[in-house]
Amino acid sequence: MSNEKTSIENQKCERERRNRESQETANNLLMFSTVQSTTNYFDNVSSDSNPNSSSSDNSSSFDSPCPSGDCGF
């Protein structure tokens, strides 16, 4: 009887551990994809606004960092 109970408790612990690990993996993937998309956004903004900074009218680069209207969304 005690062996059977121990086995059930071990299975429960193992299942909880696996759930926790898969949740951590999902969170890590979410963080990574968020960082990637944020990095891509700032890369696009900086590359779009660089040509504007060389022109005589700098105010346009502040009003719209994406002159083409495409910020990668």
Give the Cα separation of 27 and 48 in Å (integer).
32
CA dihedral 25, 26, 28, 31 (to 10 degrees): 180
Count CA within 13 A, CB hemisphere, residue 47: 10
Tokens 């990637």: give the residue: 36
pLDDT truncated to tens, each residue of the chain (73 aa)? 567 888 888 899 999 999 999 999 888 888 888 877 877 777 777 666 555 444 444 444 455 556 565 566 5
pTM of the complete model:
0.36
